[in-house]
Amino acid sequence: MKIRFKLFLLIIGMLVLLSGAASVFFILNAPVQRIERERGVLNTLLDAIQTLLVEANRLDSATFVSERPIFDAAIARLGEAFKHVQGVQYLRISDPALAESIDIIERLNALNDDNLRSIKEIYDQLYADAKTIFMFPDGITFRRFHQREYVINKDPRPFEIAQYNLARFESASVNLNYSLESSAQIITEQGAVIDSRIKDIQTRAMLVSALSIGGLFILIGLIAALAANAIAKDVIVIATGVGALASGDLSVKFRLRAKDEIGVLARGMNDFIHTLDDSLLGIKDAAIRNAAVRDRLHDATRTTGSSISELRNAVRDVEAQAKRLDEKIGETRASVTSIAGGVGQLDDRITDQIAMVEEATASITQMLATIGNMARLAENDRILADSLVRTSDSGREVFQTAFMKIEAITERVGKIEEMIQIIDTIAGQTNLLAMNAAIEAAHAGEAGRGFAVVADEIRKLAEASAEGSREIAASVRSIVESIASAREGSGETTKAFAEIEASIRAVSRSVSEISSSLAETDTGGRQILTAMTSLRELSGSISGESRLVAENARTIDSSMGELDRIAENVRASMGAIAGRSDDIASTADTTAELANELASLGEDLQRRVSLFKTSCEDDGGTIAKGGVCETA
C-alpha cells in the first residue's frame, strides 16, 4: 500500500469518524426537534387561550354585532389548538410530569368548553333581551342595560331579566377566566420544564459528541503514530543500508516487504545494487585481466624488439632469395612446357574416368533399390516381433491369473477337507448313537422293535455318510495333488514364458539392428550415389579445366618475364624495408613506455576497485573470467 494511499485513507478515516461524531450529535439532538415542535403546539394553544381570554373580557364592553364574530373565531382557534394538543406524544413519554400537566390541560379544556357554552348561551339571551328592550340592539353594550335610553319597552320586567342574565354572565365569565388562566399558567410552567428538558438533552448531546470526538481524535492519533512509526522504521532501514553502501559494502540488501513508495525504493535500490555489484564484478575481472594483458604486453614489447632484429636478418635473407628467384624462373619456364604436355595426357584419362563413373552410378542405383526392399522387410519383421512380445506378455499375464485362481481353489479345498472331517466325525457319532439305540431297543423287547429298525437305518445312513466323506476326502486329496503338480509346473511355465519373451526380444533387437544397418547402408549408398554424380560432374569440369591449364601454361611462360622484373623490384623493396625496420624499432620502444604507463594505471584501478566489497566476496566466492562469481 502506497504512503499516499495510506495518508488518503487516514484523511478519509478522519472525515468518516467526524461524520460519525456529527451523526451521533444530530441523533442525540433529534428529540430536541420533536420537543420544540410539540412545544410549539403548546405555545399555539397558549396564544389561543390568551386571545380567547382577551376577547371574552371584551364581550361586556363591545357591541353585540362587532364582538360576537371575533369571539366565535377565538373559540374556533382554541378548539383547533386543542386538537393539535392530542397529537403531543413525545412530551408525554419523555417526562411523566409533563404527561400529567398535558392531561390537566385537556381536562381544563373540557371545563373551558362548559364555561364557553354557558357564556354563549347567556350572551345569546342578553342579545335577545336587547332586542326586546332597545330600538337598535346591534349597537348595544352591556353598560346600556344600566342606562334605560332609547328603549322601546317601558315594562320593568325585561330589565330585571336582563339584570339577572348580566349577573349570570359575570359569574360565568369569572369561571371562564379562571379555567383559561389556569390552563395558561400550566402551559407557562411546563414551558420552563420543557426548556430545562431541552437544555439537558442538548448538554448530554454535546457531552457525548465531545467525548466521541475526543476518542476519535485519540484513535486517529494512534493510527497516525503507528503509520508514522512503520514509515520511520522503513526509512531507518533505508538509511542504514545507504550508510553501508557509502562505505563500499555492496553486499547489503534492503529487506523490506512494504508495498509503498519506500518498498518500491528499497526494491529499486536492491536492483541498483545488484546491477552495480554485477558491474563491479566485471570491473574487477577486467582489472585482473588488464593486469594479465599488461604483463603480456610487456612480454610482447620485448618479443617485438627481438623480432625486429630477426626482421632485419630476414630482409637480408629475402634479398639473397630474390637472387635465387631469378635462377628458379628459368627452371620454371622449362617446367611449364612439361606441364603443357602432361595436361594433354590428363585430358585423355579424364575421358576414360567419366565412362567408368557412369557404369558405377547405374550399379549403385540398383543396389539402393535392393537395400530399400530389404529395409521394408526388416521393418515388417520388427513389427511382427514386437507384436509377438506383446502376445507373450498377455499369455504370461493370463497364466499368472489362472495360477492365482488355482491358489484360491487350494484355499477353498482346505476348507472342504475341514468340512469333510466334520461330516466324518458327525457320521461316527451318529453310528455310535444308532448302536446305542439298537441296544436300548433290544432291552425294550417287542415294544422297541420299530425303534430298532429306525436305529438300524440311521446306522446305515451314518455308514453311508462316512463312506461318502471318505470318497470325497480321496477326491479332494487327488485335487490337492493335481493343484500341487500344477503349482510345480507353473514355475517351469513362467520360466518358459520368460525365456520365450527374452528370445523374442532378442530377435526384435536383432531385426531392429538389421533395419538400422540397412537404413545406414541406404544412406551411405545414397551418399555414394551423390558423390559419384558429383565425381561425374567434376570429371567434366576437370576436362574443361585441363584445356584451360594448357592455355594457362602458355600464359605462365609469358608471365615469367614479368616475374623477373618483379623480382628486381622485390630486391629494391627489401632495401626500403630494411630502412623501415629502424622506424619499427623506435615504435617498439614507445610501445614499451606505454605498456609501463598502462601497468601503473592498472595498479591504480585495482587499488580503487578493492575498496568495494561485492556480494560474491561477502559469500566467500571468487571472481572468475567474465565477471562470474564462483563459490566453493
Phi, psi of 630 (to 5 degrees): -115, 125
For the segment 209-227, the average pLDDT, to the nearest whole number, is 76
Would you say residue 364 has pLDDT above 70?
no
Query: Which domains are delineated in the chain?
Result: 3-231 (no CATH), 263-623 (1.10.287.950)
| Percentage, residues of the chain above pLDDT 90 | 0
Tell which wins on pLDDT, 551 or 118.
118
For the segment 7-21, the average pLDDT, to the nearest whole number, is 71
Between CA 46 and CA 48 the distance in angstroms is: 5
| pLDDT score, position 456 | 73
Cα dihedral 395, 400, 405, 409 sign: positive
| pLDDT score, position 322 | 61
Q: What is the pLDDT of residues 530-553, one digit of tens each?
A: 766 776 676 677 666 666 766 766
Q: What is the pLDDT of residues 449-507, one digit of tens each?
A: 676 676 677 777 767 776 776 777 677 677 767 666 666 666 666 676 677 777 667 76
| pLDDT score, position 428 | 72
Phi, psi of 149 (to 5 degrees): -115, 150
Contacts of 59 (CB under 8 A, 6+ apart): 67, 71, 119, 123, 142, 169, 173
Q: 613 forms bridges with which residues in the sheet? A: 249
Would you say residue 112 has pLDDT above 60?
yes
For the segment 121-148, the average pLDDT, to the nearest whole number, is 78
| Percentage, residues of the chain above pLDDT 70 | 45
Three cell numbers, residue 15: 472525515
Between CA 610 and CA 29 the distance in angstroms is: 76
Most confident stretch, 60-64, 244-248, 406-410: 60-64
**What is the band of 46 on the pLDDT scale with cuts at 50, 70, 90?**
confident
* Residue 418: count of CB within 10 angstroms of its CB: 10
**What is the band of 375 on the pLDDT scale with cuts at 50, 70, 90?**
low
Q: Which of 185-199, 224-238, 485-499 has the lowest mean pLDDT?
A: 485-499
Q: What is the pLDDT of residues 277-296, one digit of tens each?
A: 667 667 766 667 766 766 77
| pLDDT score, position 258 | 62
| pLDDT score, position 571 | 63
Tell which wins on pLDDT, 416 or 12.
12
| pLDDT score, position 15 | 76
| pLDDT score, position 579 | 66
Would you say residue 256 has pLDDT above 70?
no
Distances (CA, A) of 57 to 61, 62, 175: 8, 9, 12
Between CA 586 and CA 305 the distance in angstroms is: 9
Pick from 597, 383, 331, 328: which is nearest to 504 by CA? 383
How far out from the chain centre does Cα 372 lie?
Answer: 58
**What is the band of 384 on the pLDDT scale with cuts at 50, 70, 90?**
confident
**Cα angle, residue 97 at apex, residues 92 and 98 outer, rounded to 5°:** 40
| pLDDT score, position 254 | 63
Mean pLDDT, all residues of the chain: 71
| pLDDT score, position 480 | 67
**What is the band of 436 on the pLDDT scale with cuts at 50, 70, 90?**
confident
| pLDDT score, position 430 | 74
For the segment 166-185, the average pLDDT, to the nearest whole number, is 85
Q: What is the pLDDT of residues 74-104, one digit of tens each?
A: 888 988 888 887 777 776 777 777 777 777 7
Between CA 246 and CA 240 the distance in angstroms is: 10
Question: 494 with 396: CB under 8 angstroms?
Answer: yes
For the segment 108-119, the average pLDDT, to the nearest whole number, is 82
**What is the band of 116 on the pLDDT scale with cuts at 50, 70, 90?**
confident
Q: What is the pLDDT of residues 284-331, one digit of tens each?
A: 666 677 667 667 766 767 777 676 676 666 666 766 666 666 666 666
For the segment 101-116, the average pLDDT, to the nearest whole number, is 78
| pLDDT score, position 357 | 60
Would you say residue 167 has pLDDT above 60?
yes
Would you say residue 175 has pLDDT above 80?
yes
End-to-end CA distance of the chain: 41
Tell which wins on pLDDT, 394 or 84.
84
DSSP code per residue over 416-450: HHHHHHHHHHHHHHHHHHHHHHHHHHHHHGGGGHH
Would you say residue 177 has pLDDT above 80?
yes
| pLDDT score, position 40 | 82
Q: Is the pTM of this model over 0.85?
A: no
Phi, psi of 613 (to 5 degrees): -110, 115
